[in-house]
Amino acid sequence: MAKKATDTFPRQNARTQRFTLGDPRNVAVSPDGQRVIFARSRAGDDPMNCLWVLDVSAATERLVGDPATLLAAPDDEDLPAEERVRRERMREGASGITAFATDKAATVTAFALSGRLFLAGLLSGHARELIVDGPVFDPRPDPIATRIAYVSGRALRIAELDGSSWELAAEESPAISWGSADFIAAEEMHRFRGHWWSPDGSAIAACRVDVSSVQRWYIADPANPDQPANEVRYPSAGTHNPDVSLHVLALDGGSTEVMWDRESYPYLADVKWPSADRLLLTVQSRDQRSLMVLEANPRTGDTGPLFADGDTAWVELVPGTPALLDDGTLITCADREGARRLMIDGEPSTPIDLQVRAVLATQGDEVFFLANPISDATVQHVWRWRTDRTLVALTTEPGVHTAAVGGSTTVLRSAGLADAGLVTKVLEDGVDKGTNLESFALQPLVRPNVVIHHYGPNRIATAVLLPHKHDGSPLPVLLDPYAGPHAQRVLHAQSSYLTSQWFADQGFAVVVADGRGTPGRGSEWERAVHRDLATAVLDDQVAALQAAAADYPLDLSRVAIRGWSFGGYVAALAVLRRPDVFHSAVAGAPVTDWRLYDTHYTERYLGDPTIDATAYAATSLLPLAGQLTRPLLLIHGLADDNVVAAHTLQLSNALLAAGKPHEVLPLVGVTHMTPQEVVAENLLLHQLDFLQRTLALK
């Protein structure tokens, strides 16, 4: 689709949801390698996802599920509360078919639209509604495609193919739910589901979540005082978590609780069914210094350890683990000798100069995984390990790569600096036969003028962006970091720098740095923020700025910083702690007092504040309010249920009490993400105006 004549980058960026619309997503491959299933909207500014299938042998795509024909009013989604929460946890701003599940052979898929259940035959290409008692959330066919499990409210239900449905686990009370992931699991462990079919379809392992002990918080909409506040159960640091247990529910009516030491290992991070008589579950201690993979007997509920790991700081949860090879070999990951390594039956099997990021798939005697050189986290490659101990990189071009695997088919998804979008190639037996999944994503109106450096003895990954055709004169500087755990900004991917380049084109030199605490650089690098989320993080931003100034014409008398979430925390921290370096800051959705953030994330780094609150006091922004001497703009969505608006409001109150002028921009009806087109567009423009005003650029 061509760009609109009136487009500006902020408008285009907002309309395309940061250029993610129209691109294939949720890519899965059938076990026989014959079908690639994925979601994609019809255009780069169309938020409505459809379901598609690529027939690998014919190299042709077929539309399988289209909300425009399946729903009478597809643009007016009536979503169950659980689905809205899932999309928020996954930062999903699109609509339509945003999630789907298949049977084991990937011949049938189920998905929900507006709380209604739909089935599609991936061979026939036909989709139909199955009218059942709803609303329907997270529908999943059994492995043999004879029925569907789904969540409805707080109950777990079974739908038969004739449209009848029945409760497998009934609602017990408003505080107890069956079959869904709790807030902590979804937000911090990336476990977005709460029920799993047995391989023979005779039973389901289901989470029972009891939030009765979790504190109640109330998120109101001040713009609509006639509406009641939204009650959420938010487990902030040091408070009670939900009580999560696992139960095997037989379709014939039997029920068995899976037993483990839940007092010592309260976090349930992962569940898998290797066979009908064997369950695997990953559990983690509250302080996250200990992790165990347990094998459970689904008939008796008894468990025993298969793998254990411990660390004096924390044990990382690695996506895709644990996994099993066909012969039963256990695949895990653990930090050993300074690197995150692939563990084969408990033994390290990747070199110490490689940092494993995720396990993608196991197949036969092969493990497919993501990793980067421990010296350079700006790239990510797809690797294959075999039981003959051969280790092969399946991608070699600089960029960020991932993959989906099934049978002899591998789908590679690659981003690089040469192009803004993803290229999705379908390989057969490792051979590129020219089949790509088509992308309808729009081309951005900006093209990054970026150079990546590794500065100083710490080799801080730093991207520097200048205006196109810059004349060499000194430029005001904008630091544009995230800078915290579990996220990177400096990547060999053009899409990482689009907004940064737009700011550069307004007359800034933009510096983006990933310092200590960001992922990919090994155990010591990540653990540099243990007990202190401020000092090393801010020091590395300053170090990157000073190193860049030796290579580029930077005006260090006019330095600003902007960020969102953890980046917002760093931006506010920068002007409070280092006004000698930073002259203006925009802090979006900042964490200002870590006591107000959730248990699993915060306690991993700062410990339990009920035992020792020293690290919390040392990293809070509130005691620093009296030190503000620079312009500070605070931005916060009032509907945010992750970093709640109280963070910004409490800092603003402390600043006002200290007599420190500052600006606050409340975003009505906005959560932690800003998918609303008008809000997202004008938010960029407002930040630009603030930076230009406060740095005397206009």
Instruction: State pLDDT tens for residues 625-638.
Output: 999 999 999 999 99
pLDDT at 2: 46
Helix, strand, coil shares of the chain, percent, nearest 5, are 20, 35, 45
Residue 304, Cβ density class (10 Å: 0-12 exposed, 13-18 middle, ≥19 buried):
exposed
**Is 122 within a domain?**
no
pLDDT averaged over the chain? 96
If one counts the domains in the chain, the total is 1
d(CA 498, CA 489): 11
Q: Please report whether residue 23 resides in a domain.
A: no
pLDDT range class, residue 1, cuts 50, 70, 90: very low
182 inside domain: no
267-288 residue pLDDT tens: 999 999 999 999 999 999 999 9
| SS3 label, residue 94 | coil
In a domain, 581, yes or no: yes
CA angle in degrees (0–180, nearest 5) for 133-139-140: 135
* Residue 264, pLDDT above cutoff 50: yes
Using CA atoms, how far apart are residues 473 and 479, in angstroms rounded to an integer? Answer: 18
Asked if the bond preceding 135 is cis, omega within 30° of 0, the reply is yes
Q: What is the pLDDT of residues 429-461, one digit of tens each?
A: 999 999 999 999 999 999 999 999 999 999 999
Domain carrying residue 612: 450-694
Average pLDDT over residues 29-57: 97
Within a domain: 484: yes
Q: Is residue 245 in some structural domain?
A: no
Residue 538 main-chain phi, psi, to 5 deg: -70, -40
Residues 6+ apart with CB under 8 A from 550: none
pLDDT tens per residue, range 85-138: 999 999 999 999 999 999 999 999 999 999 999 999 999 999 999 999 999 999
Distances (CA, A) of 312 to 289, 315, 486, 579, 676: 6, 9, 19, 35, 43
Q: 665: domain CATH number?
A: 3.40.50.1820
Residue 512 CA to residue 534 CA, distance in Å, equals: 17
Distance CA 142, CA 104 (A): 8
592 in a structural domain: yes
pLDDT of amino acid 421: 83
- Per residue in 371-398, pLDDT (tens digit) is 999 999 999 999 999 999 999 999 999 9
- Residue at 515 is within a domain: yes
Residue, of 422 and 579, whose pLDDT is higher: 579
Residue 469: both structure tokens together: 């055709």
Nearest Cα residue to 601 out of 514, 490, 484, 521: 484
Q: Is the torsion defined by CA of 304, 305, 311, 317 positive or negative?
A: negative
Closest by Cα among 574, 592, 589, 677 to 629: 574
Q: Considering only 102-106, 331-335, 667-671, which range has the smallest mean pLDDT? A: 667-671
User: Measured between alpha carbons, how far is 375 from 378 in angstroms, rounded to an integer?
Assistant: 9
Percent of the chain with pLDDT over 90: 95
- Per the DSSP assignment, residues forming a β-bridge with 303 are 296
Neighbours of 90 (CB within 10 A): 15
Q: What is the pTM of this model?
A: 0.96
Q: How confident is the model at residue 67 (pLDDT cuts 50, 70, 90)?
A: very high
pLDDT at 5 over 70: no
Residue 153 has pLDDT above 70, yes or no: yes
Under 8 Å between Cβ of 542 and 515: no
Residue-level pLDDT at 4: 54
Indicate whether 3 pLDDT > 80.
no
Report the half-sphere exposure of 303 (CA within 13 A, side-chain side).
24
Residue 675 has pLDDT above 80, yes or no: no
Give the C-alpha separation, 696 to 698, whole Å: 6
